[in-house]
A and B are shown apart, each in its own frame.
Chain A
């Protein structure tokens, strides 16, 4: 048997490493956007359901607040930024799972796995579509809060808010990879992710500061990156006090984000390996 035979294919000659990743990313983005814009019903559903979801979410929260707080700019601003954060984190959490589920249903998983493309990039396509709906959601929220509540939105440090939200999105992608691995393994587990997302963001103080949570829950909150993302967004947008000194809070957030990404990537790799043993890689 000839060992290490010569590979006469262009893939070995072109675009290694970073360039290869960029080529893959470009392909994934093109495919997802083409798919999205060729399903008019998909776009219409997003345009219609995003504000409906917003109303269904905000109205019950308002019902629990004293009526005089409905006009309180501080409360409304907190809610606005909480909703933005919800939207951003949710985009990250759902992206990979949504993409893997779609590939399972399309029947393209095996064709993808026979390439050497990065698995994380292959399944990042879901984020493209989620980004569209995320911006749509933020626009709707902006219109909703400014037109209906006539609130002047506060934004003390736009760069700080942007940095916090982007980091939040990356941390959510880590969770997204874990969810994606579970989709690859167990297929249809969307409803479970919905519940986990509510619990996760609930205990991370997205709507209520973690300091007001019972102490056992607070301990869990401190181990989750979204606690610091929510806190930093409130700090940079509304000028609220941060939980920890800023440098320490950023360091904690970045460490946890990196840990989530590493955990997510290794879980995806492990599940792929396991599915190659069981033979369920291409099944849906």
Chain B
């Protein structure tokens, strides 16, 4: 199968300033991508799975020609993202995560028509294409309302409609369901599956493992600017399928306890998500091998200052691959 997207050793560093006034902010160097390489095959839905700040959006922006890489090469639909940027832009549809990005005093339909003109679509084709997309994304009845009246979900769907305007062979969707209510998120997922049915190549970013499992043919797990694993969800999960997983709810959590658990006998990986910083309410996800490990871990938790609230035994998921490989959790605190 041919590649639709090929990324070879791409690195990107940002030089930023933190706080301060005028020119006095502290300089900071952020290595957003470190030698990232992966390939997305034609007609595939490929997910970049990682927590916030992992480098997912930077990757999408480089592939969309909105950012230039410091080193490495990337091709989209056979075109080099730096040397043939115009051709790349003709081949892609991009939906970047943002609550803005539209003209709020224009209706959804007017916004799409404007971008259709910028994509040089013939007027009659653009009109029918816009009608089709509005229907596809359940925006038909709100198409003539001003965008300032749209909910976050409606703006997200409009964003995807804009990405599909020129019917591109390759789509980049940055966190397509973030902040959406379940109905809107389901609709967006349905559309992505429909696109796969049409043979489009979709590269999406997400920090939602369920979404990655549900939608993606293959997934790259990305953490701190590095791709740490690539494979089908099944292949990735097989890395931890031999292990056992528990999720522990605990009040009065502290980082020292997590470090202690990580050092425990038979513990493959452990990570915490703080749910309430005031009470120290946290969820610990622990991947381990052997019953002795469970006994040790529970012993540690019971003898800690924290109060054990619940313990659940779970089937390993993509998140456990992430926990095992990075010692971090995927999703932001809810």
| Residues of chain A at the chain B interface (Cβ within 8 Å) | 1-5, 7-12, 14-16, 19-20, 23-24, 26-27, 30-31, 34-35, 38-39, 106-108, 110-117, 122, 273, 276-279, 281-282
- Given the complex of chains A and B, what is the CA–CA distance between A9 and B167 in angstroms? 6
Question: If A3-B78, A4-B79, A10-B125 touch, does A114 touch B68 (CB 8 Å cutoff)?
Answer: no
- Given the complex of chains A and B, what is the CA–CA distance between A9 and B169 in angstroms? 8
- Given the complex of chains A and B, what is the CA–CA distance between A113 and B86 in angstroms? 11
Q: Is B114 among interface residues, defined by CB-CB distance under 8 A?
A: yes
Question: If A5-B91, A9-B166, A14-B122 touch, does A114 touch B105 (CB 8 Å cutoff)?
Answer: no
Nearest B residue to A9 via CB reads: B166
- Given the complex of chains A and B, what is the CA–CA distance between A244 and B167 in angstroms? 57
In contact, A27 and B90 (Cβ under 8 angstroms)? no
Contact pick for A11, options B64, B70, B121, CB 8 Å: B121
Question: If A31-B106, A115-B89, A122-B118 touch, does A276 touch B77 (CB 8 Å cutoff)?
Answer: no
In contact, A115 and B119 (Cβ under 8 angstroms)? yes
In contact, B120 and A14 (Cβ under 8 angstroms)? yes
In contact, B94 and A114 (Cβ under 8 angstroms)? yes
- Given the complex of chains A and B, what is the CA–CA distance between A112 and B166 in angstroms? 14
In contact, A9 and B78 (Cβ under 8 angstroms)? no
> Which residues does chain A contribute within 8 Å of B119, judged by CB atoms?
9-11, 115-116
Q: Is B102 among interface residues, defined by CB-CB distance under 8 A?
A: yes
A187 smallest CB distance to B (angstroms)? 14
> Which residues does chain B contribute within 8 Å of A282, judged by CB atoms?
66
> Which residues does chain A contribute within 8 Å of B120, judged by CB atoms?
10-11, 14-16, 19-20, 23-24, 116
Contact pick for B3, options A2, A14, A26, A35, CB 8 Å: A2
A219 smallest CB distance to B (angstroms)? 35
- Given the complex of chains A and B, what is the CA–CA distance between A14 and B2 in angstroms? 27
In contact, A12 and B90 (Cβ under 8 angstroms)? yes
> Which residues does chain A contribute within 8 Å of B65, judged by CB atoms?
113-114, 276
Contact pick for B96, options A3, A110, A112, A276, CB 8 Å: A110
In contact, A108 and B118 (Cβ under 8 angstroms)? no
Q: Is B186 among interface residues, defined by CB-CB distance under 8 A?
A: no
In contact, A35 and B122 (Cβ under 8 angstroms)? no
Chain B 66-109 near chain A by CB (<8 Å), digits 1 or 0: 11101000010111000000110111101010101111111000
A122 smallest CB distance to B (angstroms)? 7
In contact, A7 and B87 (Cβ under 8 angstroms)? yes
> Which residues does chain A contribute within 8 Å of B77, judged by CB atoms?
5, 7
> Which residues does chain B contribute within 8 Å of A4, judged by CB atoms?
78-79, 87
> Which residues does chain B contribute within 8 Å of A279, judged by CB atoms?
14, 58, 61, 67
A114 smallest CB distance to B (angstroms)? 5
> Which residues does chain B contribute within 8 Å of A35, judged by CB atoms?
103, 105-106
B329 smallest CB distance to A (angstroms)? 27
> Which residues does chain A contribute within 8 Å of B15, judged by CB atoms?
278
Question: If A2-B78, A114-B66 touch, does A34 touch B106 (CB 8 Å cutoff)?
Answer: yes
Question: If A9-B166, A23-B117, A276-B66 touch, does A34 touch B90 (CB 8 Å cutoff)?
Answer: no
Q: Which of B4, B6, B91 has the most CB of A within 10 A?
A: B91
Q: A14-B120, A108-B101 are in contact. List 8 more A-B contacts (CB 8 A).
A: A2-B2, A5-B77, A7-B87, A7-B90, A11-B90, A24-B117, A110-B61, A276-B66
> Which residues does chain A contribute within 8 Å of B150, judged by CB atoms?
none
Q: Is B115 among interface residues, defined by CB-CB distance under 8 A?
A: yes
- Given the complex of chains A and B, what is the CA–CA distance between A42 and B162 in angstroms? 28
In contact, B101 and A111 (Cβ under 8 angstroms)? yes
> Which residues does chain B contribute within 8 Å of A24, judged by CB atoms?
117-118, 120
- Given the complex of chains A and B, what is the CA–CA distance between A273 and B116 in angstroms? 24
Chain B 109-147 near chain A by CB (<8 Å), digits 1 or 0: 010011111111110010000000000000000000010
